[in-house]
Amino acid sequence: MSYAEHRAKRESGSTNTDLVDHSWEEENVPLLHSGLIENCAGVDGKCVLALSIYYQNGAYRCRIHDRASDEVAFTRIVSLGTFFTQMEGNLRDDELDWTPSRSRTAFK
């Protein structure tokens, strides 16, 4: 079987051939997951969303950068254990306050 045949079989089937099983992410945090795995147009090798988690003034915080629109938003994280579902809710419910990135070339 050639690689082209293998690829066609893989694409037509429902088998997950990724090195890691992403079924939890696809079911529970689909927006966040797709933003982290989809390539950003015009930025080779970079995903659309970039997350930075840090601890400041007694709380975890997250900086999320949308490379496609070159905007950033910040949010407080309740706990690291619920981080992914919290970020998914923020994206889904449009609860992030997006602002233009300070540097048009930062994190690209």
4 in any annotated domain: no
Whole-number Cα distances in Å, 53 to 7, 16, 28 = 36, 29, 20
Helix axes 83-92, 30-37, angle to 10 degrees: 90
Query: CA 77, CA 83: separation in Å to the nearest integer?
Result: 6
9 in any annotated domain: no
Tell me the residue type at 97: D
Q: Which domain holds residue 39?
A: 22-100
Indicate the number of domains in the chain: 1
Q: Supply φ then ψ for residue 81, to 5 degrees.
A: -65, -30
Query: CA 26, CA 66: separation in Å to the nearest integer?
Result: 19
pLDDT in tens, 52-99: 999 999 999 999 999 989 999 999 998 998 998 999 999 999 898 899
pLDDT in tens, 41-57: 877 788 899 999 999 99
pTM here is 0.70
12 in any annotated domain: no
105 in any annotated domain: no
